[in-house]
Amino acid sequence: MTESQLADRECTACTGDEDPLEGEELIPLFEDLDRDVWEVVDEHHLEGTYEFVDFRDALEFTKEVGELAEEEFHHPDIHLSWGEVVIELWTHKIDGLRETDFVMAARMDRFYEGYDLEE
């Protein structure tokens, strides 16, 4: 699966009845993300660090991520600073990761591809 295929998958609402993904279940989903950006932390959440050449691009990216979060009703923690946006993402209802978290991350990667990262 390529990043674009993962990004094109549907974000599904969590019922709370499912178990978080663990171990080997995480690998194929993680492999389809930008691994220069993302890491899986303690099999609990994704953390991604996006770097930019200035504050304006970091802010614009943050706005895009915020709009996506509202559209999908799946809200990451977003930390904005000069030239950097850090995203923490997991499904709060099950206190862990689901496929939807990886889909959201892949969509963020797709947004990031549109930025000029050279000064």
- pLDDT tens for each residue of 34-82: 999 999 999 999 999 999 999 999 999 999 999 999 999 999 999 999 9
What is the model's pLDDT at position 3? 46
Q: What is the pTM of this model?
A: 0.93
Give me the numbers of helices (H) and strands (E) for the chain, helices first please.
4, 4
* Residues facing residue 91 across a β-bridge: 96
What is the model's pLDDT at position 119? 66
- In sequence order, what DSSP letters do the residues of 68-88 get, joined into one string? HHHHHT---EEEEETTEEEEE
Among candidate residues 106, 112, 116, 99, the one with its CA nearest the CA of residue 12: 99
The end-to-end CA distance of the chain, in Å, is 32
Alpha-carbon distance of 33 to 25, in angstroms, equals 14
What is the model's pLDDT at position 118? 76
Q: What is the mean pLDDT of the chain?
A: 93
DSSP 25: G
